[in-house]
Amino acid sequence: MNLNKLILKNQALRRGIIAIIAALLVWEILAHWRLWFGYSLPGIGLMPPPSAVLHLWGKVLLDGSYWLSWYASYSRVLLGFCLAMLLGIPFGLMLAVNRHLHALFFPIFEILRPIPPLAWVPASLIFWPTQEMSIVFVIFLGAFYAIVINVLGGARSIDIRYLRAAQSMGAGQWSLFWRVVLPATLPSIFTGAAVGMGITWEVVVAAEMIAVGGRVYGGGLGFFVWNSFVGGSTEQAIIGMLSIGIAGYLASSLIRYIGYRLMPWHTAA
């Protein structure tokens, strides 16, 4: 049983690796097409081959400013994301539990929600005292909406039988909230967190491109990409892109792992 699982996992891993290698090969061939075959494929423009990107990446890895970009983006994302969780979960639960608060806040929330976080960049640059705070704020917004909507939906769709069963067994409001409403909403909280985390990476990159002009250090991965492009190094821009992909993947994996630890029943069911 366990051995089977291990073999399956290995198989999946092997297939994943094969797919990545195949994709790199195709990319490599396409990038060299003109040189090797003497004519251009229609629709295929200039791009650096992966071998060149990887070669440069090897050098970039030794460069401290590259890692500072990672650090800058990650700390912004985590700060904005944690704030969004901290405020979004109670806010969503509150809206779900209390009809009056829902009537009061939901319309405002729904009007603000369609505004893309990036549209907030100019206003928040003016409003917040530092550039850093405005970027974190915009990231926060990106994750906040996703978290609130999911928590609200999850808490509202709790099966009434759970609430009735708990109340019949004598649960008070306190126990009902902590031992029924909250665990029943946990899967939705994690759905919101996963979606929100995805949005934070979209937002941080764009915000850094717009807002972190002129700084070499601490610009973040978004700035790294933009700066490489302006500096004429497409290879380095691609390194930045792939780094963002890896960073986002690591962040989502972390959330999945925490979700898995907090909800052992969820994987069982």
> How many angstroms separate the first and last alpha carbons of the chain?
18
Residues in contact with other proteins by CB under 8 A are 159, 161-162, 164-172, 175, 179-180, 183-184, 186, 263-265, 268-269
Q: Which is nearer to other proteins, 49 or 183 (CB)?
A: 183
* Shortest Å distance, C-beta 260 to other proteins: 14
* Shortest Å distance, C-beta 146 to other proteins: 23
* Shortest Å distance, C-beta 269 to other proteins: 3
Please state the separation of Cα 201 from the chain's center in Å: 5
* Shortest Å distance, C-beta 99 to other proteins: 17
* Shortest Å distance, C-beta 176 to other proteins: 9
Q: Which is nearer to other proteins, 184 or 194 (CB)?
A: 184
Phi, psi of 91 (to 5 degrees): -65, -45
Q: Which is nearer to other proteins, 163 or 210 (CB)?
A: 163
Phi, psi of 201 (to 5 degrees): -70, -35
Q: Which is nearer to other proteins, 61 or 165 (CB)?
A: 165
Q: How far apart are CA 241 and CA 122, in angstroms?
A: 24
Give yes or no for a contact between 84 and 76, defined as CB atoms under 8 angstroms apart: no
Q: Which is nearer to other proteins, 171 or 195 (CB)?
A: 171
Helices (H), the chain: 2-37, 50-60, 64-97, 99-112, 121-127, 131-156, 160-168, 173-175, 182-211, 220-230, 234-262, 264-268
